[in-house]
Structure 1
């Protein structure tokens, strides 16, 4: 029994670390003899991946053999090629030792190159896209998968998928070449900003500033209360005063002695920079008319955000979005928190309220239209106008997108950012839409040129992959 247990342990250990590196398509190397499937290229059969002599053995790639693939006119952006599950790629986990992926490409067009990994059950890391910057010459592109480490779909990977010419509306058949796919350790990320936060330009008369070199600041009792779980330090970034929070779980900032009357303000602003926080939360607390903590009229509200790592994030938040903050005359606490709890690093600057009307081109300023159809005729998944059915998740583990719940003009709204695709599931409480005629959704985007919707029915057995699943996807052009 002990021998069997030891054998299983060794097998499990080897599975976790064995991915083939590099994939160079040489006869004595890796990739040339593997099975590569191609998909979504509009031909019958789908044009195969070719292993050919290097057509341009110059510059950074003088190797003998490369892979060639030609996405055709009419092929969607996700036309690509993939190794077969169980191929000599091996089965592995994404870790700090292999999460930097590089690939050499030769392309006649500037467009995204996408790479993703998949598991035997169909789970996917979601693709990361990097565009080539030159045409008709070899270029090495780098893909940082460190943000995927630890995710469920980054364990037990046995497939790589390459989208060599990821673009919509292609006007030519683009023959592209790729070579030398390598896996290397995580690139050291910057630990702090090297440039200062943007300098605010709103007039002082329209601002109540807590912390900014650009304004006269109101008195703040403390930037780290005694009940905080985090440490603050004052420093300068490019000559600009900045506050740094280390080992952060949550930190309280208090103006109890000189409470802020923000009743005439419209927005709360903060610039934040973090190398590692995947969630950033902001809470405002008002002590109510009696101006005392715990006096029975305290109000508060917290909002959650997914920050971009290693760059300044400018948060311009309508105070109306803090819906629980029904009074704003005695704001006494500001609380920053986030994940990973206890080890977050956060730099903040330009913390202030203002009442200058602001239009963010990337955010709708008005709520989606309020539906008027009778509730008896509706099965609602998400709407303030109806009682909603139970939804398992609005972002599955195999999605490639970030999800934020927020309010637009007081209306609950879901925001997807860095969107490739996102799955919404009602597996535990499947929807019977047999009596319905239409599917409705309101969508707003600042940059998507095409929007696709797919519905999937698990069939009579109610199980995924049971042999009777059906689905259909529609594509819409946005203007």
Structure 2
């Protein structure tokens, strides 16, 4: 009897003393993450079928996290051997719907954060390659970052692996490459370089424009442009026209132009009041090879309510042609996230290359402007015909010339309620399951994107 008791005590000692550190395959219940609702209600993290199952609660920053201490910490100081690998899958997203998330690595030598995306319910493998850091003491997954979505996700096989060997088709600038999968001595093709022609000069009345960056107008004063996630921002000239060159090495890279009066900002400037402006415009040019989920995200960050509120627009670059300028216009009412939020104290304008990395980006003519809101009777003037509108069940859409590559329908709160990829000139949106009310449709073609209104009776 004494031997049995001693053996049981030994088992308990081993169980209670087990160290939770990477790698995690979630075969051990002790590897479950804690849940941070971040001011929201609901949501949880649990282990299901040896995977970490995360239920979001719709808060902008709800997250699942694990803290490490003592002998559990993981050394991320070797820049050649500190890649975090994991798989993630949505179990609730519609086919091809893109959701943006964020991973945070808290270490003794600083914090590294980067966005990544899931597409539909595909199982995707991610390689997060930070610079040299310290000991990992905090790991967080923010699901549906800065979004009201409350999807469910499965995370598995979190581990630290050596940095992937550089190849010419891995979508990463590594080795001695001079750009993403180009240049260097590894046999990659030459990098395409900047555009040879400038973006079209704007002709809108300066009295209707609030300029951020354009030779055609007087730009608003700002503190500085800050880059993040390994990005590089260079001012260049194209045909004597000032242009911004944004070089991206990993997903989530970008830059933010700041307009702060305090916090040590030098020089201090007044935040932007964009209340009187209805639309945003920017010209974008990119090279490389975008794929499904490649997004150029613009965030107008307003602080009039105290904390920052992100008013977001996602431009699907996979539907745009490479190596040419695209003039992008979007009404604030049509923004993907927080379209109705106040914008009287905008202190940051953020530009992010999210999803699969697709190449170098060139930006010009960033400004806001006034334009009368297009009504239903104005649809006939656009590049598309939508009929009937209003409708009781379905809308027919006809392009005047270009192939319609994708269509996304959003409700007035900015939630994506329907997505299709017709790849033809004519298609039908089946709105039979939608509630009566107003919606916004974003139509993508190889020539650009247009946002229009839909009305369901």
For the aligned pair, the TM-score class normalised by the smaller chain equals 0.3 to 0.5
TM-score, normalised via structure 2 length: 0.40
The higher radius of gyration belongs to 1
TM-score, length basis structure 1: 0.38
Higher strand share: 2
